[in-house]
Amino acid sequence: EAGVVQSPRYKIIEKKQPVAFWCNPISGHNTLYWYLQNLGQGPELLIRYENEEAVDDSQLPKDRFSAERLKGVDSTLKIQPAELGDSAVYLCASSSGVLETQYFGPGTRLLVL
Amino acid sequence: RKEVEQDPGPFNVPEGATVAFNCTYSNSASQSFFWYRQDCRKEPKLLMSVYSSGNEDGRFTAQLNRASQYISLLIRDSKLSDSATYLCVVFRFILTGGGNKLTFGTGTQLKVEL
């Protein structure tokens, strides 16, 4: 069974440019998460979806970050415009329920110059 | 105070040693607890859930102490391959305002040496 797929794996952009990350969860997983992880820190939840509904986006900086999960499958996380402090690893995870095991993708390493 | 706190380490132990990590949580309404493992430059993976009665999986034992609001992870007979960062995860339902809250700790780094 395929795991969580994320692309791109690496991205280098200049500040003020837009960037988008894509995630394809494990088939059948209704719950999808986007996390941000800085070096030496644990993952911090940005947004959680139940099917196509964003049920927890309280930690998403909505002035520059947006996300969507059309049709309740794939998801895209966008940053516009990117700032230097956005450099981090962006992890996508999915699970069959909120208390079920989360399976993480390999992450997208973003570097903003 | 952070909702979930862990000693970042690193814990440097010789192969074969027993090592234990604690993770404290601040919200007494927290209901579910997990340990995840994260290898360097890799994604986190579930190691084990933590049950109220404590649970064991091979060389790994997880305990929950609700009175003192901490969970622990004990690793016996450590192997070189146990070297990783161990993330504590705490979950609680939020009755109002929508959503549940799942919080990762910053992780404890373990280095097992020859």
pLDDT per residue over A78-106, tens digit each?
Answer: 999 999 999 999 999 999 987 788 999 99
A84 backbone dihedrals φ, ψ, rounded to 5°? -55, -40
Taking the C-alpha atoms of residue A24 and residue A18, their distance in angstroms, rounded to an integer, is 21
Residues on chain A touching B107 (C-beta within 8 angstroms): 40-42
Is-contact B25 B90, C-beta < 8 A?
Answer: yes
Chain A residues with CB inside 8 Å of B99's CB?
A: 48, 55-56, 58
pLDDT in tens, A36-84: 999 989 999 999 999 999 988 988 999 999 999 988 899 999 999 999 9
For B63-86, write each residue's pLDDT tens digit.
999 999 999 999 999 999 999 999
Tokens standing for residue B100: 């549940």
Asked if B27 is an interface residue toward chain A (Cβ–Cβ < 8 A), one would say no
Q: Is A69 on the interface with B (CB under 8 A)?
A: no
Q: Is the dihedral of CA B49, A101, A88, A68 positive or negative?
A: negative
Asked if B105 and A44 come within 8 Å (Cβ–Cβ), the reply is no
Contact yes or no for A98 and B100 at CB 8 A: yes
Looking at residue B99, its pLDDT comes to 61
Q: What are phi and psi of A70, to 5 degrees?
A: -65, 140
How much is the pLDDT for A25? 97
Q: Does A56 contact chain B (CB < 8 Å)?
A: yes
Percent of chain B at pLDDT > 70 equals 96
Six-digit token pair at A9?
């794996």
Beta bridge pairs of residue B71:
B23, B64
Burial of B3-25, coded b for 16+ CB within 10 Å and e otherwise, reads: ebbbeeeebebeeeeebebbbbb
- Contact between A90 and A36 (Cβ < 8 Å): yes
pLDDT of the residue at B114 = 92
Q: What is the pLDDT of residues B8-54, one digit of tens each?
A: 999 999 999 999 999 999 998 888 999 999 999 999 999 999 988 88
Q: How far is B50 from chain A (nearest CA, A)?
A: 12
User: Is the CB of B106 less than 8 angstroms away from the CB of A42?
Assistant: yes
Is the minimum CB–CB distance between B102 and chain A shorter than 8 Å? yes
Predicted pLDDT at B51: 86
Q: Name the DSSP class of B76.
A: -
E strand residue ranges, chain B: 4-6, 11-14, 19-25, 32-38, 44-50, 55-57, 60-65, 70-75, 84-93, 100-104, 108-113
Residue with tokens 């992780």: B107
B87 CB neighbours in chain A (<8 A) are 42-43
Residue B95: per-residue pLDDT: 66
**Contact list, A50 vs chain B (CB under 8 Å):** none
Burial class (CB within 10 angstroms; exposed 0-12, middle 13-18, buried 19+) of A101? middle
Say if A70 is an interface residue toward chain B (CB within 8 Å): no
A20-35 tens-digit pLDDT: 999 999 999 999 999 9
The average confidence (pLDDT) of chain B is 92
d(CA A77, CA A92): 10
Query: Residue B11 and residue A14: Cα distance in Å, rounded?
Result: 38
Residue A12: what pLDDT? Answer: 98
Q: What is the pLDDT of residue B55?
A: 93
